[in-house]
Structure 1
Amino acid sequence: MAELLVIRHGQASFGADDYDRLSDLGRAQSRAVGQVLRDMGWEPDRLMTGTLQRQKDTLAEMGFDAPPEEHGGFNEYDFYDLLRVKFGGEMPDPVRHDRKTHFRTLRDTILEWQRGGVEGAKETWRDFVARVAAARDFAMDTDAKRVLVVSSGGPIGQLVASTLQAPPEMMMTLNLQVRNTSMTRFIFSRGRISLHEFNAAPHFASAEGAKLMSYS
């Protein structure tokens, strides 16, 4: 049996022109999760990220030395594109800059996308599901016993939902629960996979660590 440990990237730069970069908090979160893995004696045999900068920077801050592989299937869905399509162009300012409004609107948009709506988006829901499955299979096609992946909330939600054979709507429920740099662990062997742990964050368990916790 082997382990697939999927970590969500550290906090990115919400509301900024360039979202795809870590905030100072995101860098601190990334260092903390790397340290807690070393403290646990968990050293990865294979490292992977998507192609997004915030994912690659999270792994770099974690401090593991081996060169990582990349698979675009671990990238987040393009939420800016989905929201722009939904609103016929530029997003309303509250949707772009107010967290509660943003994530409430995003949830409704993803549910619509899953039902075949948001026509004209760069990626369909079916294509998203397929690429996440392809990334999972690529990560499992290995002799490594400990595979570490840095991904994003949407793919993590989809990986868990598909593993549990849950309905599509569950993906978004899970997506919104995933904390920055939390760990979701799967056990796999011979093409079979099972969920072992979801959204764990031992690096947030202390009083000091709790100050690092964020969801977006």
Structure 2
Amino acid sequence: MGELTLIRHGQANSGATTEEDYDRLSDLGHTQARLLGNWMRAHEDPFDLVLSGTMRRHRETAAGMGYAPEKFDERLNEMEYFALVRDMQLHHDVAPPNGPADFAIHMPQTLAAWEQATINGAEPFATFESRIQTALAEAAKPGKRALCVTSGGVISMVMRAALGLSTHQMAHILLPIYNSSVHRFAIRPEGMFLMAFNAIPHLDPPALTDHRTRL
């Protein structure tokens, strides 16, 4: 049996209003990455393959963890949510989210519109889905252990494929994903099967409660 371990990047610049400004770790995000790397070296066997998306927050997370990816793959990059927000406002007169409560409403609406192709963002929904599936099919092999540093939208799309989720369910899987969380799948000849979701063992100590973030 093989394993695929997906890591969501550490906390990025959550106050940003553009994709470029968002795409960098906060001071806390760097700390989350370091703590996760320390935990993994203490508890994990070596990986056969280490991958990362090409976004700055992915590269900074991998480096903070102490891992040097063999490949940086843009197919593992996040959806451009700010482009989708713009299209929702332009085509559906839906205002940008203002805070976590608004975001929890906006995300399911946005993914539904994106899947139905009434908005397009920076790429079609089907392209986002297929590029992730193709990249991970290449990485996930029976008998091998692969580690991938990526983003919450990518992780939720992998969950959608593994569990047969609707887009509405995928949106609600995406919303609670922690920064620097660990998600693990078993790779067998029959397919990919969920083993662990949204684990943050490196942030379990009560003194680190304020290190547990989602945005």
Which region of structure 1 is more displaced relative to structure 2, 162-171 or 196-205?
A: 162-171
Matching residue's letter, 2:63: A
TM-score by length of 2: 0.89
**Partner in structure 2 of residue 85 of structure 1:** 87
**Partner in structure 2 of residue 25 of structure 1:** 28
Distance in 1 separating the partners of 2:115 and 2:206 = 39
- The answer to whether 1:34 aligns with 2:37 is yes
**Partner in structure 1 of residue 177 of structure 2:** 178
Would the aligned equivalents of 2:108 and 2:168 in 1 still touch at CA under 8 Å? no
Distance in 1 separating the partners of 2:52 and 2:144 = 17
Residue 121 of structure 1 and its aligned partner are, at CA, apart by 2.4
Would the aligned equivalents of 1:79 and 1:106 in 2 still touch at CA under 8 Å? no
Distance in 2 separating the partners of 1:73 and 1:206 = 34
Distance in 1 separating the partners of 2:175 and 2:168 = 12
**Partner in structure 2 of residue 108 of structure 1:** 109
Distance in 2 separating the partners of 1:172 and 1:96 = 15
Would the aligned equivalents of 2:76 and 2:150 in 1 still touch at CA under 8 Å? yes
Distance in 1 separating the partners of 2:139 and 2:56 = 19
**Partner in structure 2 of residue 200 of structure 1:** 199
Identity %: 31
TM-score by length of 1: 0.89
The Cα offsets for residues 4-63 of structure 1, whole Å up to 9 and x where unpaired, read as: 100000000012251000000100110111111111133222110111110111000001
Would the aligned equivalents of 2:50 and 2:71 in 1 still touch at CA under 8 Å? yes
- The answer to whether 1:50 aligns with 2:53 is yes
Aligned length in residues: 211
Query: Partner of 1:211: helix, strand, or coil?
Result: helix
CA 1:67–1:151 in 2, change beyond 3 Å: closer, same or farther?
Answer: closer
Matching residue's letter, 1:111: A
Would the aligned equivalents of 1:83 and 1:106 in 2 still touch at CA under 8 Å? no
Residue 194 of structure 1 and its aligned partner are, at CA, apart by 1.1
Distance in 1 separating the partners of 2:171 and 2:177 = 10
Would the aligned equivalents of 2:97 and 2:106 in 1 still touch at CA under 8 Å? no
Residue 104 of structure 1 and its aligned partner are, at CA, apart by 2.7
Taking the TM superposition and a 5 Å limit, the aligned residue runs for 1:61-210 are 61-64=64-67, 66-88=68-90, 95=96, 98-118=99-119, 120-141=120-141, 145-190=144-189, 192-210=191-209
Would the aligned equivalents of 1:73 and 1:135 in 2 still touch at CA under 8 Å? yes
